[in-house]
Structure 1
């Protein structure tokens, strides 16, 4: 069985118990093309025999998001902002987050729905959402 859910694109495979123990025991990660897209991080969870796909944004998108966040929060140049950085840990409150989303919309020419904006916690979340919205816009 395979399924796609939410903005994080979860892909699940269910295997028979005997297949999982013989074929999956040493598998750590694989790539799997899906509708012309390649998701390089396909991981199995031990004992659950389930795969999960993580959509990974391009380094350029992550870099631009980091720059916008640093600018909106007026962070010093030496402040380390990475894909794993959480807005809250950088000192952003809810108003700052709204301003960051507005800056991202302007920079990338997209429109972020309120529900999607509320799910953004990290730089990586924002970059993934941006790429997803850009793909939808191009389609």
Structure 2
């Protein structure tokens, strides 16, 4: 197997998490690192390593999605939940993003909003925007 070099502008300290890192597809790996935002690393072959959002952020996103889609409180949502699988159309997705903007005090660009397809992607984007806002 050929090795792939990854470049980062700072060193990363990976600590054991409560759960194992999740690998979805063959191109994406989420690793929680010190419960802080961390850089995204991309290899020449397209492998991308990025941090997963805090569980609290994912929970808030789940609550907003349930509210916007009028899902029952006992509905089971997780980071992997896809908006389309929950019955959301493009208008629902816009309303979800508006709810997220209001809840977290952020502003999401249209291109970013269109790229969000899962709860986890929304939570990751929120934490990046909050970090940029605080910087």
User: Residue 121 in 1 paired to residue 117 in 2?
Assistant: yes
Match of 2:83 among 72, 75, 87: 87
RMSD: 3.2
Normalising by structure 1, what TM-score?
Answer: 0.66
For residues 31 and 88 of structure 1, what CA distance do their matches in structure 2 show? 26
Match of 1:112 among 108, 113, 116: 108
**Structure 2 partner of 1:103:** 99
User: Residue 74 in 1 paired to residue 73 in 2?
Assistant: no
For residues 53 and 32 of structure 2, what CA distance do their matches in structure 1 show? 15
User: Residue 137 in 1 paired to residue 108 in 2?
Assistant: no
8 A contact 2:33–2:51 mirrored in 1: no
C-alpha change, 1:37 and 1:70, in structure 2 (3 Å) is closer
User: Residue 62 in 1 paired to residue 58 in 2?
Assistant: yes
Normalising by structure 2, what TM-score?
Answer: 0.68
Q: Which runs of 5+ in 1 are unaligned?
A: 5-29
Residue 54 of structure 1, CA deviation: 2.1
Q: Which runs of 5+ in 2 are unaligned?
A: 9-30
CA displacement, residues 76-95 of structure 1 (integer Å, 9 cap, x when unaligned): 11211111000000000000
Considering fraction of residues, name the structure with more strand: 1
For residues 117 and 81 of structure 2, what CA distance do their matches in structure 1 show? 9
